[in-house]
Structure 1
Amino acid sequence: MDQGVAALIAAGFGVLGTVVGGAAAVWGAKIGAERSAQAVKQQVKDQAAAEHAHWLRQQRLEAYERFDDNYSQLSRLVVRIEGDISSAPDLIRDLARCSSRIDILGPLEVSFRAVQIATALGVRIAELHMLRRMESGGDGESSEEYSQLVSQLRDENDAANRWDEYHRGFVQAAQKVMGSHLA
């Protein structure tokens, strides 16, 4: 074989190697770019999920704190045997608003506990209000029916005296959600 033909064959293999190598490089670059794009998409999704989780955590924390602040004010009011309870209706409304916000933010366990507290304290306030009206004679002489209503409210609503227990359950559930409970 003469040198010209050998050089031509070598050049042909060189061109073929260059074409195959270039195609492989393009294919490899394409696969790398696709994987990189998928990784970036996943990173964006993960970041969005993390930011949403952080936002939800902050919203829950604010709602739980506000509910607990209202609970504290109201519970101090209902433990007093004597004293003015005229601010109780406003405090109950605030507690109910906070409970509604917790219903939205969840989770269900914390929402359930908040409703238990609001209901128990509402019943307790109603009971105190009725007792004070009976004691003051503001409605005239107390009727037997009114006295029975107060007794029935007290007897049927054992929950009215369990608000502190419900609050402990609320705090435990909130700590669990917030990840701050001690194991």
Structure 2
Amino acid sequence: MDAGVAGVVAGVAGMVGALGGAAVGGLAAVRGARIGAEKTSAALLKQTQDQAEIEHRHWAREHRRQACSQLMEHYAGMLQVLAGAQEALWREETPTAEQRQTMESLLVAMAPVSRQLDLWGPPELQDAVGELMARIRGITYLLREWAHAVETSAADMATHRNRYLHFDTESAYNAFVATAGEVLRSPA
């Protein structure tokens, strides 16, 4: 083989090697780009899902906060109405029609707020709201019973008064406030 043919063979072999190396390198680059794109896409999807979850938790916490605030405002209004009605009953007078209407309106207003909190949860807040609402319904029932006893000059008026005065709503309210505070401060 002369030097010219050897040079051509070496050149062809070099070209085949270069083309083969370029092809393998190109395939590796394409594979690397595909893997990189898949990992980037997966990371972006995870970040989007995490952000959506954070936004949803924030949205739910804001709804809980609003509902808790409304319930607390209604409860404060109810305490004022009950105090005014109790003052009249101490004088053996019946509560005014306005006091009775306000009490009923507040009970009606509390119902959807408590159902919102049942919806938003969590279970410990649902339990605290349920107990508070049961106590509020209980105290208003006892006030009505006391008012009826005053209206009819019932002999057992003192019994109705004592049942009303010894009925505890404050502990249920305090438990609700404590639970609501914990739930609203929780980052979860």
Considering the TM-score relative to the shorter chain, is it more than 0.5? yes
TM range (shorter): 0.7 to 0.9
Deviation at 1:119, TM superposition (A): 1.4
Deviation at 1:161, TM superposition (A): 2.2
Comparing 114-123 and 18-27, the one that deviates more: 114-123
Deviation at 1:129, TM superposition (A): 1.7
Q: Distance in 1 between matches of 2:182 and 2:126?
A: 13
Which residue in the other structure is 1:61 paired with? 65
Give the secondary-structure state (helix, strand or coil) at the position aligned to 1:161.
Answer: coil
1:168 and 2:183 are equivalent in the alignment: no
1:44 and 2:59 are equivalent in the alignment: no
Deviation at 1:75, TM superposition (A): 1.9
The 5 A counterparts of 1:15-30 are 15-30=19-34
For structure 1, the 5+ residue unaligned runs are: none
TM-score, normalised via structure 1 length: 0.82
Which residue in the other structure is 1:101 paired with? 116
Q: Highest CA radius of gyration, 1 or 2?
A: 2
Q: CA RMSD in A?
A: 2.4
Q: Distance in 2 between matches of 1:4 and 1:57?
A: 78
Deviation at 1:40, TM superposition (A): 1.5
Q: Distance in 2 between matches of 1:3 and 1:97?
A: 93
| Structure 2 counterpart of 1:179, one-letter code | R
TM-score, normalised via structure 2 length: 0.80
For structure 2, the 5+ residue unaligned runs are: 89-94
Q: Once the two structures are superposed, what CA deviation does each residue of 1:44-87 show, in whole Å capped at 9, x if it has no partner?
A: 21121111111111111111111111111112222443144312
